[in-house]
Amino acid sequence: MRPKKRVSGFLIFAWIFLLLFTFWTLFPFFWGVITSIKSPGEQYSTAFLPHFQFKPSSYAWQVVLGQAEGERTRQGLRNSILISSLSSLLVLFMGALAGYSLARFRFHRWKNKDIAVWILSNRMFPPIAVAIPFFLIMRTLRLLDTLPAIIMAHVVYNLPLAIWLMIDFFRELPEEIEEAALIDGCSSFQAFLRIALPLSLPGIVAVYILCFIFSWNEFLFVVTLSYRKTMTMPVIIAGALTVRGLDFWKVSALSLLAVTPPVILAALTSRYLIRGLTLGAVKE
């Protein structure tokens, strides 16, 4: 007979820690669901067992998706999806080209490291520092309250991080594969398009999801550059603060709607996301 394996104290502690961490992470979502099915008069109560401690109500969802505010909510979801998707695609396109250039080519007037540091420095200053210049530029171009204005602002905001991540992803690829493609007659752009991009697909997906999430949650540029037609979900959620106070039942319903698309996107691409985020973590 095989001897029974003894469970170490460290393993028990690890399981307890993971269970507590899972509870700490998921409880806000659980509380959001519970609050969204409470009536406005019960939003401040600590009851969390439907049918036992309180009677479930669909009032919050009727208000959010009803005739009065339903169109505003749907418009916010459409704007968030369009802005996040298109801006992330543009960031991915330009970030891949810039990252590959800095990873494979050597610049003489400015060193590659200096260029990369300058690009990253654009992400370090607070966004409020460029909010007014962006507003003046878009007002001059008559692009206020339009999707292109928000998309361009989000591209500028997310591009430095995407370039830095892309540099590391392309540096991890063996140069010999691209050199073989060049010997076979490919140009540098063809080697990038046919060899480097497919091999770095997990990293590209990871960058896209990160940029999508950053763009989805962005608040300042949307408030600065729009006022009616291009409101996104974060701005609509902030609009739940009224002179009467904060309507938690409404915020809960809107928040659950807002987190659904990023969660679905991350779940569908989780295989690539995990591999892309860990790409380059181990140096040989």
CB-side neighbour CA atoms (13 Å) of 110: 9
User: Cα(21)–Cα(77) distance, rounded to whole angstroms?
Assistant: 30
CA 241/CA 134 separation, integer angstroms: 27
* Sign of the four-CA dihedral 191, 194, 197, 198: negative
How far is Cα 147 from Cα 212, in angstroms, rounded to an integer?
A: 15
The pLDDT value recorded for residue 282 is: 46
Pair 147, 230: CB distance under 8 Å:
yes
Are the C-beta atoms of residues 100 and 166 closer than 8 Å to each other?
yes
* 266 CB-near residues (< 8 Å, 6+ apart): 209, 273
What residue type is 140 in one-letter code?
T
Provide the token pair at 243: 């002179």
pLDDT of residue 4: 53
Question: What's the confidence (pLDDT) of residue 176?
Answer: 86
* Residue listed under structure tokens 């050199």: 179
Alpha helices for the chain (secondary structure H) = 9-36, 59-65, 70-104, 112-124, 128-140, 147-171, 175-183, 188-191, 197-199, 201-217, 220-225, 233-238, 248-268, 270-278
Tell me the pTM.
Answer: 0.85
Distance (Å, whole) CA 274 – CA 183: 34
List of residues 6+ apart from 225 with CB closer than 8 A: 134, 135, 138, 143, 144, 145, 149, 150, 153
Residue 227: predicted pLDDT: 85
Specify the amino acid at residue 177. Answer: I
Contact 82, 147 (CB under 8 A): yes
Q: What's the confidence (pLDDT) of residue 269?
A: 81
10-residue block means of pLDDT along the chain (284 residues)?
61 90 90 88 79 83 82 91 95 93 87 87 86 92 93 93 90 85 86 87 88 93 90 89 79 90 85 62 48
Return the ∠ at Cα 139 (arms to 137 and 145), rounded to 5°.
115
d(CA 204, CA 46): 44
Predicted pLDDT at 276: 57
